[in-house]
Chain A
Amino acid sequence: MTEKLHEFVESLKSANPEWVGDVKDALGEVTVTVPREHIFAACEFLRDSLGFDMLADLCGGDRGPEEDPRFEVNYHLFSTTHHKRLRLKVLLSEDDPKVESVTSLWKTADWHERETYDLVGVVFENHPDLRRILLPSDFDGHALRKDYPLRGYEPYSMN
């Protein structure tokens, strides 16, 4: 079921072996861990050469304050021609949660990256307009972090 996806991973590897870190095949899905500095180049190659022309989803996650690297960003690529899905994963440390933006490759990444910045606190470099999107601009903290309490630090007031 995932042979075709492994072919894509192989061609990604042959284009530049540094792009591909850990490859995981589980539950019919293939996850490729890409080093942070190569994510833009890897995405560009996948889009232009392997037909992954759509970014279906981009979401961040917090693995917990005790984990290192603490944050992850998942790129769910999809193709409108061969209809395969591939997940790229970037791991980020707590001290430097920064990753290159892919907005110039897929315009849809704009809002997804803003949402990830807003809720998880990952900073996307070279993003055209990195503002909070769901929470108010004066909100303190990042709500989806594991150390952020469910009810917030104090009752939020509009003033």
Chain B
Amino acid sequence: MSSAAETIAADFDAIDEPLETQMTLSMGPQHPSTHGVLRLDLRLDGELVVKAIPDIGYLHTGMEKLFEYKKYQQGIVITDRMDYLNPLGNNLAYVMAAEKLLQLEIPERAQVVRVLMCELQRIASHMVWLGTHCLDIGAMSVFFYCFRQREKILNLIEAASGGRMTPSYFRIGGLMMDLPAGFDRRVRQFMDDFPEAMDTFNTLVTGNRIWQSRTKDIGYISKEDAISWGLTGPCLRASGVDLDLRRDNPYTGYETYDFDIPVETGGDVWARFMVRMRELEESYKIVRQALERLKPGPIKADAPKVVLPDRDDMRKHMDSLIHHFLIVAEGFNVPPGEVYHAIEASKGELGVYMKSNGGPKPERVHFRGPSFVNLAALPVMSEGEMVADVVAIIGSLDIVLGEIDR
């Protein structure tokens, strides 16, 4: 060997030696793949993550404080802004907690519409997850296919409620208004095209060998750890725990729908990916069934002191006008008590703790956001992995910072 080659070999040996010091890398809060304003304090040994410390709060807007200063019906619009990819799920959790305190009976049609809209919203939320998750790992084109599908759902939500990302469609005691004429036809049109889109995603991503090698055996969390860290939703089911609140603590009549709970045992990014992909198909099945059940009927509970009357009634009946005035001007009193209501949102268990002391404003509203709890487990999954894999793990957790910081 010549002396020059020996020098180069010696140089390479030096590079292979571990670094004497660890490097601290501040990832975020403006990093595009942290899905918002999340900052990660990464302690690195070369490219390996030794310690990861999430730093949150950049988007804190004091929503829980604000709820205490707003009437019950005014709180609904605040919930839209929390998990902005799943606003109908937030609406549902909030109004159901209030309905539990008021002990209202919700009519059949309103229940079916709630299930229908929530499952459409779940598909939309998972579309953003899939698009951004792929974008983070480097598959750019999937993003456009996903957002095309999401756009169709947002148009449906806009047709029903008037808002695309802030619908506030569910109200305490029922719905804001009935579905527009021809809505079921538009949903069916979307549903007819959706399986083809799923095939596209499976071709582009699921069968892709690069995708598989980037996700398999990355970000592992065991079943025991997942429960201890309080993971819920797809992240928990990917670790082999068969738990879905739609089946186990049913609400709005989910127990009468026929659907499966996808469970994977891998506990890695790939397992979480597969759970969500299969969940899309289950949501598709539920939407189909909800469409079949859509029968004409009342959309508001029979509680004139809580639910706003119809415009037509107000013109004809004096008492409706009085109720309308009182609800808008003073709000309605909610009996004292406290409830915790949890629903299966697109990201996991979305729980609302609501406490009333009898007035028109809640004494305390607390949101248990699934993203908040799932993000706390990020250090367990990412320690020992490469920096590039941290991006994949964040994507697989499907976090929304609006809900984490509240």
Binding site for B on A (CB under 8 A): 26-29, 31, 53-57, 59, 61-63, 74, 76, 78, 80, 83, 85, 87, 106-108, 110-112, 119, 132-136, 143-144, 148, 150
Which residues of B have CB within 8 Å of A27? 100-101, 103, 337, 339
Known: A53-B227, A85-B340. 15 other contacts (CB 8 A): A28-B100, A29-B338, A55-B230, A56-B349, A56-B351, A63-B363, A78-B342, A80-B227, A108-B373, A108-B377, A112-B373, A134-B56, A134-B406, A144-B64, A144-B65
Which residues of A have CB within 8 Å of B339? 27, 29
Q: CA–CA, A53 to B101, complex, Å?
A: 27
Shortest Cβ distance from B66 into A: residue: A150
Number of interface residues of B (CB under 8 A): 39
A59 touches B368 (CB 8 A): yes
Q: Is the interface of B mostly helix, strand, loop or mixed?
A: mixed
B62 touches A110 (CB 8 A): no
Q: Which 4 A-B pairs have CB atoms at the shortest separation, nearest pair first?
A: A108-B230, A57-B368, A59-B366, A83-B248
Q: CA–CA, A119 to B355, complex, Å?
A: 17
Which residues of B have CB within 8 Å of A31? 338
Fill in one digit per residue for B362-406: 1 if any A CB lies within 8 Å of its CB, else 0: 011010100011001100000000000000000000000000011
Which residues of B have CB within 8 Å of A85? 249, 340, 342
Q: CA–CA, A21 to B364, complex, Å?
A: 23
Which residues of A have CB within 8 Å of B355? 61
Is the CB of B259 closer than 8 A to any CB of chain A? Answer: no
Q: CA–CA, A18 to B241, complex, Å?
A: 34
Shortest Cβ distance from B355 into A: residue: A61
Is the CB of B69 closer than 8 A to any CB of chain A? Answer: yes
Q: CA–CA, A107 to B342, complex, Å?
A: 20
Q: CA–CA, A23 to B140, complex, Å?
A: 55
Min CB distance B373 to A, Å, is 6
A85, A111, A119, A144 interface centre (most CB from chain B within 10 Å):
A111
10 contacts between A and B (CB under 8 A): A26-B337, A27-B101, A29-B340, A54-B230, A76-B353, A83-B249, A107-B230, A107-B377, A119-B64, A136-B57
Which residues of A have CB within 8 Å of B243? 80, 83
Min CB distance A58 to B, Å, is 9
Q: CA–CA, A135 to B377, complex, Å?
A: 20
- Neighbour of B376 across the interface among A54, A74, A110, A144, CB < 8 A: A110
Shortest Cβ distance from B248 into A: residue: A83
Which residues of B have CB within 8 Å of A111? 372-373, 376
Which residues of A have CB within 8 Å of B376? 107-108, 110-111
Min CB distance A22 to B, Å, is 13
Q: Which B48-89 residues have C-beta < 8 A from chain A?
A: 56-57, 60, 62, 64-66, 69
Q: CA–CA, A26 to B228, complex, Å?
A: 28
